Structure 1
Amino acid sequence: MDLSLENAELIANYILFKLKKHQQVLAAIKGLRNGLVYGARIRAPHALVMVFLFGTGTLLEKLKTVLTLTRTHAFNLGKFVFGYKLALAFLHRFKNRYQTWHPFVAAFTVGYYVFGENNGVNTQINLYLLSRIIYGLVKLAVEKGVIRQPNSPVFPWFAAFTWGIVLWLFENHSNVLQNSLKTSMTYLYRDSNVWTSVRDFIVYNKLPM
């Protein structure tokens, strides 16, 4: 390691040590860092695949779209983690101890401002979370005895209901579905109805112009 870099690391470590009494603020800053990294890692490959498979425009335009989507996801997630951890620290100090409702209030408040803007990235993230919290709440209800543990497997019925509803919506009311879902389902269920030769039956979805 270069001597100047080693000195810089030593100084930074000393500063972190001196600031250890502000652990909650430092945790928020580390959360910002982790949110940026995680958001970029999650969004970049997904956006790259979806934009290049289904997007339109030149190569440069597609790359700009990928970068825009990645930046939006990463910065929103980073801002949310940072704001949530600060809000949690504030509530903790205000009440002098942790309360079980603190996470909800902190996340509710910060989520309104960070993920409240109606755009494609936020919609995907919110829907991703919605499906998982519904699943989690049902399991919690069983654990707490609010719902009786079923005697037979429930997951097949969950899958059947999910796929039945989404295909009913797609075939009859596709305008209400999110654009990315509608694009994927069009590729799977509508484009597979059309071909003119063996080339666009096997090799291509549609013959290149």
Structure 2
Amino acid sequence: MATSIERILGSEQYRPLLAIIKGLRNGAVYGTKVRFPHALVMTLLFKDGSTQDKVWSILEATFTHSKNLALFVLLYKSLTSLMEHVQSEKSQLHSFVAAFIGGYIVFGKYNKVNEQINLYLLSRIIYGLAKLAVKRGYIPKPAGDPFPWFAAFVWGIVLWQFEYEKDTLQPSLQSSMTYLYHDSNVWTNLKNFIWHNR
């Protein structure tokens, strides 16, 4: 039996299907590895409620992240494999079309986990597109290190938004910034100055 399984795993005939199955598995595992510790820490530090509510919140966020990432990988790999098979060649357009469809179906449903994943990716692609523009010669390569300017604009904009257009920011970011910048202006005694926030 083990020999026949190993023969199938080594077969080029089944490789596309096996890659889809392993992609589904890797999406589930990666989603769990990324979300569980994040949900655990954020829940223990910032959420109120019973222990049962906290455990449920951690498990729900972990399941959602893991399931969505696994489904997205399944869709993406299935669609790119299908398009490559139909056209008998690989194309850059296949990646975009497959991810576009998968993104709409899986990550287009609004929930906090999808919002965080989409925002995470947005920041990475904006940064990556700026690098691509330099790489392709659309904009000149900066003479010095652009990272300090990038950081300055990011922080300048986000604090301006927080102070004057707070409702336009994501709720978890509003909470973090309130804790850092507004709650630090409030205390009544040594206890809530050093140990407790309020």
| Distance (whole Å) between structure 2 residues aligned to residue 188 and residue 11 of structure 1 | 59
- Aligned-pair CA distance for 1:12: 3.9
Q: How much identity, in percent, do the aligned residues show?
A: 53
The residue that corresponds to 2:47 in the other structure is: 55
* Contact 1:38 1:74 survives alignment (8 Å): yes
Q: Work out whether residues 54 and 183 of structure 1, in 8 Å CA contact, stay in contact via their aligned partners in 2.
A: no
Judge which range, 150-159 or 58-67, deviates more.
150-159
Match of 1:110? Answer: 102
Equivalent pairs counted in the alignment come to 198
Q: How far apart are the structure 1 equivalents of 2:62 and 2:5?
A: 29
RMSD of the TM alignment (CA)?
Answer: 1.4
Matched, 1:86 2:66: no
| 2:6 is the counterpart of 1:13 | yes
1:143 aligns with 2:135: yes
Q: What is the deviation of 1:202?
A: 1.2
Alpha-carbon distance between aligned partners in 1 of 2:77 and 2:4, rounded to the nearest angstrom = 26
Matching residue within 116, 124, 134 for 1:124: 116
Q: Distance in 2 between matches of 1:205 and 1:20?
A: 60
The one of 195, 199, 202 equivalent to 2:194 is 202
Query: TM-score when scaled to structure 2?
Result: 0.95
TM superposition shift of 1:14: 4.7
1:13 Cα deviation after fit: 3.1
In 2, Cα distance between equivalents of 1:10 and 1:156: 57
Equivalent position amino acid for 1:119 in 2: N
Measured at CA, do residues 165 and 155 of structure 1 come closer, stay the same or move farther in structure 2, by a change above 3 Å?
same
Structure 1 segments, 4+ long, off by >2 Å, are 9-17
1:68-91 Cα distance to aligned partner (Å, 9 max, x none): 000000000000011100000001
Aligned residue among 166, 187, 191 for 1:174: 166
Q: CA deviation at 1:152?
A: 2.3
Identify the match of residue 88 of structure 2 among 77, 96, 113. 96
CA contact (8 A) 2:23 2:73 kept: yes
CA displacement at 1:16 relative to structure 2: 3.2
| Aligned residues of 1:141 and 1:147 also touching (Cα < 8 A) | yes
| TM-score with structure 1 setting the length | 0.90
> What amino acid maps onto 1:109 in structure 2?
I
Q: Which runs of 5+ in 2 are unaligned?
A: none
What is residue 27 of structure 1 aligned with on the other side?
19
C-alpha displacement at 1:193, in angstroms? 1.0
C-alpha distance after superposition, 1:101-134 (max 9, x if no partner): 1100110011110000011110100010011111
Residue equivalent to 1:4? none
Instruction: Give 3-state SS (helix, strand or coil) of 2:188's partner.
Output: coil
